[in-house]
Each structure stands twice: as C-alpha cells, then as structure tokens.
Chain A
Amino acid sequence: MTTPEPAAPQALLPQDHERRLHPGSWLFVLLQNLRQFIVPLAVLLFAGGRRDDGYPWWLPMIGVGALVVVSVWQYLTFRYRIDDDRLIVRSGMLERSVRQIPYSRIHNVAIHQTLLHRVMGVAEVRLESAGGTKPEAQMRVLRMPEALALEQLIRDRGRADATVATLDGGPVAAPEGTTLLALSTWEVVKLGLISNRGLIVVAGAVALSFQVMPERAMGRLLVNYGREAFGYASGFATTWMAKGLVLLGVIATALLLIRAFSVLLSLLRFHGFRLQRQGRRLTVERGLLGRSRSSVPRRRIQAWTQHEGVLHRLFARRTLEIDTASARGSDGQGNANAQRGLDALAPIAPPDTCDAIVRDIALLPSWPPVDWQPLHPRAWQRLMLGDLFMTVGLCAALAWFFQWWGALGLLWLPWSIIVARRHAARAGYVVDDAVVAVREGWWARSWRFAELGKLQAVELRQSPLDRRFGMASVWLDTAGANALTTPLRLRFLSLDDAARIHATLAHAIATRPLRW
C-alpha cells in the first residue's frame, strides 16, 4: 500500500459504464464462504470417512462445487457505477438490489489486504456510513490501484458537500498528505510491551482449547505436565526456598512469554503504522502481513480519548484514540475487532506528539487546556469509599481465619487514601465554547473530550450518596461511543457547578447544528 496514489482517478475509474470487480474476486468470495462452511464440511469428511463401508468421500465436494458456482454467480451479478455524486451498486443473485451511496454520506473508507490479496495485487474495499452494523458497500475484491483511486475519488467528491463546492466534476488538486505519525519497529515493540493483548489472546486460546478438545483432554494434559514438571523440579529443588525460586522462575517465564506474544501481535497489527492527513481526511495504514488502510473525514470524529497507564509512563508514551460513528459490527468474517478501521489515531506516541495531533486535527489550538477546573473538595472521599468498603469487608473475612492478623489488611487504607487524594487532585474538567474535556486518574490517566457540536444529549445525575456529599455528575452522550471505554462524564462536581454546566451545555448544543 505504499504505492503512490494514481494521479488521475478518472483514468482508472471511467464513469460512463458499469464496472465489475476484479476477475479473481470469486475466489475470495469462495474462500470466505468456505470459511463459514469449513466446520460442517470437515465433519462430513472426517466423521463420515470413519465408516469404511464405501462412504462416498466425494460427497462434500458437491458442497464445495456448489459454493464455487455461487461465488462465480455473485461475481457476475455484482456491478458498480461511479456517478457524479454517488456510487451505485447493483448486486444480488435472485433478489436484485440497487443501492445508491452519496459520497458525502460515506464516513469511512476501509481498504484491507490479507497476504493472499497482496500476492495477487488486489484489495477489499468497505464503504461505511453512520450507524448500522453492516458496511454500505463491500467490494470484494478490486485491483489495488482501483481501490486507491476509489478512495481518492470519495475523498475529493465527498468534500463538495462542505463549504467549498467544487466548480465542476473535475479532480481537485489533492493536497499532498502530511504524515502526522509514523511508528518505527522499535515503537511498535514498545507498544507490544505496554499492551496486554497477549494475555487476552492466551486466555482466549486456553478457553478455546478447553472447549474444542474432547473429553477434558486439555485438563488432563495440563495436570500431567504439571505433575511431571513438579516432580522434575522437586528432584533438584529440595528446600522450600529452592521450590519457591523455581515457582518464581516459572511465573517469570510465563509472563515473559505472554509479553513476547504481545509484541508479536502488535508487530502483526501495527507494523508500518502511518497516520496521514490529506486536507480534511485522515488516513491510517498498518499491518505486517495483511495491510489495512482506512480513511475518515476529520469532521466524522465524535470524541477523543488519550490514555496513559503506568507502563506507558515508563516509556513516556500515550495512546490516542477516537470514536467514529461508522458501522461497528463485524466485517462479515466474524472478526469484529480485528479490522475496526480507525480507532487508534496514535497507538503509541510521546505525549507532545499526541497533543500536537489533537491540535492539528481537532482544530483546538489551545490543547491541552491549562485551566482545568477542580472537582468538589470532598471528591477524594467519594473516590476511596468503594475501596474502604472492599478493604473492610476483606479484612473482616481475613480476621475470621487469621484472628487479629487479618487486621493487617487495614494497612492498605493509607495507601488508598493517598491514591484517592492524588486522583481527586489531578482530576478536572474544562467546559468552554468549543469543547468538553475530562481528565481522570492518577496511576492510569485518561483524558476524554468532545467538541460541543458532537454532543447528543446531556444528563444531570445525583445518587443518594452524591446528595449526601452535595455533589452531582453530568453525563454527556456522543455518537459511536464504545461501550467498553469510559463514558464522557463529569463526576463529583459540586451540585451548583453541575447544574450550571448542565444548563449551559443543553443550551449550547441546541444552538449548534448536528454535524456528523
């Protein structure tokens, strides 16, 4: 995907007639279909084959043949046409459908290449609009230059909806993209060291192997190996000290392996990461074996998140992520997360770079703000309340078993007071006429902000506990927010502040037209 963009997309994508996909595209459709049917087919082949009484082994081949026919048929019936302001896609084998997609409605253009795609010089293109779970159009597959030309065309034509209207259909002189961030291999390795992705995958793999392997073979395997290893270890480690050391060694090795796995995963995913800005559009390219490239207009960004954990701080790095309102479902191949286009603008970057990217893209010249407003003076008490109950409960349980020694657990409380006080001192919010920003956390810090024009609803909340402390919180709703990330909310404000902000924002949003 490092190929230079074609100078004139018109040369590659003539407008007057309908076009088909790449001639080899039926092969990829077939592969995708096969992936869906691979389990039933395998069951047919193997489970059937065990019976030796002349089981027709070629029976599954009929299924494969049918899939081939379907794939070729799909290829033959899929046509698209490039119109002045919209893309027209005709598809369907028996039920025909014609779908018109105005360029200005396309939020995200995602080009994806697996290794096989790259060998054949083709790519899969997805056009996503707001909401929904399916992309507006999925072109599996186009020749790579055609895919890039299509992306550029949408970028140029989609701009016509904004204030600058192009005079004719001719190409606007596309400004050369400026690279905002490019990650070196060493940076990607750091990202792997910081992220916990390896742990998640290992846990998933273990869970899966327990499910897939028959009759608790996995469990037996683990127990057997464990016993053997333990016997081996107790052969040369006789004292408790030595045993403890061996155990520590095993744990350390496991942790190292998981980290190494994380590094591998992040190399696969983020190798050659490049964030570019071309006029109003952002483009992100990444991937080691399979490359993906997605591009989104600046104004489609709904909210921003910066995150900095302890490990991030060790390397003096941060993560910058965005919410977009485009389709968040799976890509039709079951891997929902793998290709979620453009969520990390900067998977890892020095804090200054992150801030610079925000200033550049979000058009917030004064980011980061200096006048963070403090929380309610007693916010730290609220912050440590949960910890207090947990600790006391846990200590009560410990005291049950170890008598007074259990009370030692209460020593955790001073630490949790320190953490809560630091957190409350660091946390803050900014509400001005352009942006709402929240800063939270002390160990793991996060910044979350959104432009006022992107807010959808405001809610003032007060729990009984809040009322006791004279506090309230303001919850702000934006489009495309991920259910897993922290919501955009201003917690532990004094009631007066919260009510004032609530009223101001409700009015401010109402005066701004919805643009998304």
Chain B
Amino acid sequence: MTASDTDFTVPPPLPDAPAPPAPQVETDVWQPLPLRARTLATITTLIGTLIPLGIALGVGLIAADRQPLSFGLAGALLLVIPAWTVWIARRRWLRTRWRLDDDGFGVRRGHMWRSDTRVPGNRVQHLDVRRGPLERAFGLATLIVHTAGTRNSALSLSGLDFDEAERLRDTLAARAARDDDHDDA
C-alpha cells in the first residue's frame, strides 16, 4: 500500500441514513471526460508552462545581450512552447476514456504512449475521491482506485465529473464489499 500523500481535501458530506437510489453509472461504454476537464487541463498546463518558461527566458534575457533578435526569439518561444504543451494536454484529455463493466474498472489513456489499465472489481482495496481547489471550482474530482498490487497499486483518474466520481466510487465500493462477503478468509 502506498502511503497516501494527502492534500487538502474536503471530506464528502456524510450520506443520510437511507441513501436514495443513486443513478446508475452507465456501463460497457468507453466514456470521455467532461468538457470542463479540458478547460481545467488547459489552464493548469498554461500555468505550469508559463511560469518556468518565463523565469528561464527572463534569466536568459538578462544574461544575453538584449538585441531585437533575442527578444524575437524569446517571444517566439513564449508562443510556441505553451501552444505545444496545451495541444498535448488537450489531446491527452481527448484520449483519456474510462469504462465500467461487469469485470471492473478500466482507463485508457495516452496518444504516443498508450495504455489500457483494468482493475477487476474484486481486486479493489479502497477508493479515494480527491479534489484540489481548482478542481472544486470546476466541479471536478480525481478518483483513485487502490489495489493490493505494487506498481499499479493506485490507478488515478483526474478530471472526472464530481458526481460521476462519487457514483463510480460507490458502485466500485459496493462491488468490493459484495466480493468480500463470500470470501472471508
């Protein structure tokens, strides 16, 4: 088990005693992430790129002779690199799909390096739904599925719709509990 590096998360409100029948998660289809997730990915990528890039270019300009050419080069870099990273982030958003079926939970991601990870429902140890401040502002959440494995012991999927993430968590947790019932070793 990995030691969870907890960040500031608001614990979800306790459910009322008899939980109303939650709307079911649609199964057996590869589902995309919501559009809001793309916006959030764009913003975080822009911040994550522009700050280090700005610092690097600033230092470079101070060190180099301030000629029009170097200014032009810096400006071009300032335009091209963020555009590239944002393009990658948006493509990653497009390629990330998740799916819930009878076997378990699956996540597909990546364009250049593709992966398709499946965690069977009866292998789920525990589940986290985590939200940072930005994700809260966009109504998104990160779902983390923990297994007893080592390398893939935590499958995390960020950019899920918050309600969807909670439904997914409850569905998976219910399955894990069901499996535990008839296999109490």
A, B from the same assembly: yes
What is the chain B residue whose CB lies nearest that of A464? B112
For the side of the interface on B, what is the size category?
20 to 34
Which of B103, B119, B151, B185 is the most central at the interface, judged by chain A CB atoms within 10 Å of its CB?
Answer: B151
What is the chain A residue whose CB lies nearest that of B103? A510
CB of A460 within 8 A of CB of B115, answer: yes
Nearest CB in chain B: distance from A370 CB, A: 29
For residue B106, CB closer than 8 A to chain A, the reply is yes
Residues of A within 8 A of B38 (CB): none
Stretch from B52-60, B120-128, B162-170 contacting the other chain: B120-128
Residues of B within 8 A of A487 (CB): 151
For the side of the interface on A, what is the size category?
35 or more
- A105 vs B117: C-alpha distance when bound (angstroms): 29
For residue A516, CB closer than 8 A to chain B, the reply is yes
Q: From DSSP, what is the main secondary structure of chain A's interface residues?
A: mixed
For residue B183, CB closer than 8 A to chain A, the reply is yes
For residue A458, CB closer than 8 A to chain B, the reply is yes
User: Quick one: which of A451-491 are within 8 Å of B by CB?
Assistant: 455-464, 467, 475, 477-481, 483, 487
For residue B148, CB closer than 8 A to chain A, the reply is yes
Instruction: Decide yes or no: A480 and B150 within 8 Å by CB, A510-B122, A514-B122 being known contacts.
Output: yes
- A20 vs B14: C-alpha distance when bound (angstroms): 44
For residue B26, CB closer than 8 A to chain A, the reply is no
Residues of B within 8 A of A462 (CB): 113-115
CB of A475 within 8 A of CB of B148, answer: no
CB of A510 within 8 A of CB of B148, answer: no
- A381 vs B182: C-alpha distance when bound (angstroms): 48
Say which residue of A161, A457, A467 sits within 8 Å of B149 (CB atoms): A457
- A477 vs B115: C-alpha distance when bound (angstroms): 14
- A141 vs B103: C-alpha distance when bound (angstroms): 47
Residues of B within 8 A of A512 (CB): 122
Contact bitstring B168-179, A, C-beta under 8 A = 1, else 0: 000000000001
Give residues in B with beta carbon < 8 Å to A.
1, 102-104, 106, 112-123, 147-153, 155, 179, 182-183, 185
Give residues in A with beta carbon < 8 Å to B.
104, 130-132, 161-162, 325, 455-464, 467, 475, 477-481, 483, 487, 502, 506-507, 509-510, 512-516
A-B contacts, 22 of them at CB < 8 A, read A132-B1, A456-B119, A456-B147, A457-B117, A457-B119, A457-B120, A457-B147, A459-B117, A460-B114, A461-B115, A461-B116, A477-B150, A477-B152, A478-B149, A478-B150, A480-B150, A507-B103, A509-B122, A512-B122, A513-B182, A514-B148, A515-B185
* Other A-B pairs beyond A479-B149, A509-B123, 17, CB < 8 Å: A104-B185, A325-B148, A455-B123, A456-B119, A456-B123, A457-B118, A460-B114, A463-B113, A477-B147, A477-B153, A502-B116, A510-B121, A513-B183, A514-B122, A514-B123, A515-B183, A516-B148
